[in-house]
Each structure stands twice: as C-alpha cells, then as structure tokens.
Amino acid sequence: GQQVMQIPQYQHVQEGEDFTTYCNSSTTLSNIQWYKQRPGGHPVFLIQLVKSGEVKKQKRLTFQFGEAKKNSSLHITATQTTDVGTYFCAGSLKGGNKLVFGAGTILRVKS
Amino acid sequence: DAGVIQSPRHEVTEMGQEVTLRCKPISGHDYLFWYRQTMMRGLELLIYFNNNVPIDDSGMPEDRFSAKMPNASFSTLKIQPSEPRDSAVYFCASKDRGSYTFGSGTRLTVV
C-alpha cells in the first residue's frame, strides 16, 4: 500500500538554527500537505503543494514538492521556541480522498 | 464556525466496556475521517465517510470497532468491547475540497 516516509524522527536545535524535515513517498502523489501538531494538541494544516517542483513560503517556512511528486521538504529558517512541535507530511494519490500521514518529525528548540 | 467538535476530551474505561466517541464536523464539509494516534504507529486512518456514506474502512483494526454517520452533522466511533491496546488519541477530521480540519481529539485510556 501507499507509504509516506519522513525523516528525521526527532531533531533538537538551538534557537536561531535552521531545521529541515524530509518526506518520501513510495508512489507518485497527487498533492502533499503539511501539518503541525503542538504538544498535547491536534494537527493543524499548514500548506498544500500540488504542482511538480512547487515551492511555497510562509514567513520563515519554505515548502518544496519534488519534480517527480514523490518527495517534499519543509525548511524552517532561524527557528524560534514557538516552532516546537511535530511536523507531519501527508500525501494523497490522484483521485484519492484520503491522506496518508508520515510518522512526523518532532522538533525541539533550545533557547 | 466552531471547528470540528469531539467529545469527550478524555475517557478512562475498564477493559471490556463499550466506548463511544463522538464527532461533529464543520458544517458543509462532506468528508469525515477518523484517525487514531499512538506513539508506536503514528496517525492511522481508521475509516472515512463521504456524504455520510462509509467509503473506506480498511483501517478499522477489527470487528470490535464500528463507525456510523447518521447525518451530515454527527458521527460516532464505537469500540465494543474495549481492550488496553485501544488506548490512544482518536481524532476526527473533516474536509470539503482541500485541507483537513482536525478536532481536538479524544484521549482514550483503557485499564
């Protein structure tokens, strides 16, 4: 079945350092979405990427979708303590309505 | 809009008891999803509905789990009988065309 792999599992950075999490799918995706879950909270939608090679930015966050639409990344520039949480990628197949979530990357930021 | 509403927020029950989790999706969203989140298995899709009709229940772990959506504004996930390994956070999410909106989840503990 469809699988979405995400690395690293965990990252602990110093405040001000950059952070990147990577997502890979075993199959070509229709789109990919990114979510953030704060400790004790629920996943909250960040962004959706649809086009091959697409790059989107939200302030310090940069999202990329690979040319083959099988991989994606989220990069945070100059992390802040408010960035703490788990970042999930989630992909869906063409014509599909269900998202398959990666295992998530837990980000901790030391101030 | 109040978002996706789940109840209860926390549930502690004894093994063998029946547990019913409830969800009210966002009005106008025609898809509803039930996810289970554990440390070991991450976010797992259990079942999803489109226009109140169950579309894919392949993620339901076993016959002890059942889900219903009697109308567009209400869904239940029932576990009967419950077992300690069912302990997890259960999320309900709804969507219309794009992103998912998750409820705050129900933290279930079966002792």
Contact B102 A48 (CB under 8 A): no
Contact B103 A99 (CB under 8 A): no
Over 80: is that where the pLDDT of A1 sits? Answer: no
Residue B2 pLDDT class (50, 70, 90 cuts): confident
pLDDT at res. A60: 98
pLDDT in tens, B28-84: 999 999 999 999 989 999 999 999 999 999 999 889 999 999 999 999 999 999 999
Is B33 an 8 Å CB contact of chain A? Answer: yes
A100 DSSP β-pair partners: A91
Quote the mean pLDDT of chain A.
94
**Which amino acid makes up residue B41?**
R
Is B49 an 8 Å CB contact of chain A? Answer: no
Is B98 an 8 Å CB contact of chain A? Answer: yes
Over 90: is that where the pLDDT of B107 sits? Answer: yes
Q: Which of B73, B82, B76, B86 is nearest to B26 (CA)?
A: B73
Counting residues of chain A whose pLDDT is more than 70, the rounded percentage is 98
